[in-house]
A and B are shown apart, each in its own frame.
Chain A
Amino acid sequence: NAGVTQTPKFQVLKTGQSMTLQCAQDMNHEYMSWYRQDPGMGLRLIHYSVGAGITDQGEVPNGYNVSRSTTEDFPLRLLSAAPSQTSVYFCASSYGTGNFLSLHFGNGTRLTVT
């Protein structure tokens, strides 16, 4: 079982470039989410999805798009990268939602925007 797989592990972008961070899970989890982790800020929720075709915004959604066409995949798109988006990005999934929410994390994508 691979769990939650994120690619790439590292990425450097120039300001204004776009890219997609990939996330896939093989646990048949309905819930998937994206967090960013910055020093001194903890983890902040960007977007989440409670099932295929359903997405919603988290705490810091600006500059990011998501879609959920399958249960397994939840890509995060940066539309026009900015230095403020330099961060470590984590994808996480959960079998349950609400009171049964318990996350399985990928190992992260470290993104640098110059």
Chain B
Amino acid sequence: SQQGEEDPQALSIQEGENATMNCSYKTSINNLQWYRQNSGRGLVHLILIRSNEREKHSGRLRVTLDTSKKSSSLLITASRAADTASYFCATVPTGANSKLTFGKGITLSVRP
């Protein structure tokens, strides 16, 4: 069963706007990761945040983690049409034996 659940399921924004996507999870985690999937392709790792971190940045991406609320958010600033893709959060639960569990994903459309 899915550990992470993303919200919203779909998001449509104008180029240049910021996109915020949320992920909630159920059990305690070692780390949380965000992946991107372009249509017809495999997933690409974007960023990993560990349970003892609260915020990480990578280029136009900012990820936050609130372990007390069991939630994370992914912010893409100044979005581009090329950011159109599905985004997945994935968690490594504590004591997980190396199992990375994915949510169902968010479809982001960036209109030119």
Seen from chain A, the residues whose Cβ lies within 8 Å of a Cβ on chain B are 4, 31, 33, 35, 40-45, 48, 50, 56, 58-59, 90, 92, 97-99, 101-108
Contact = CB atoms under 8 A, between A and B. Distances in A.
Interface residues of B, number: 26
Nearest to A38: B104
A42 B42 contact: no
Interface string B82-105: 000000100010001111111111
Contacts, number: 62
B24 interface: no
A107 B48 contact: no
Interface in B37-52: 40-45, 48, 50
A98 B99 CA distance: 8
B42 A43 contact: no
Contacts of B58: none
Contact of B45 (A45, A97, A103): A103
Contacts of A41: 104
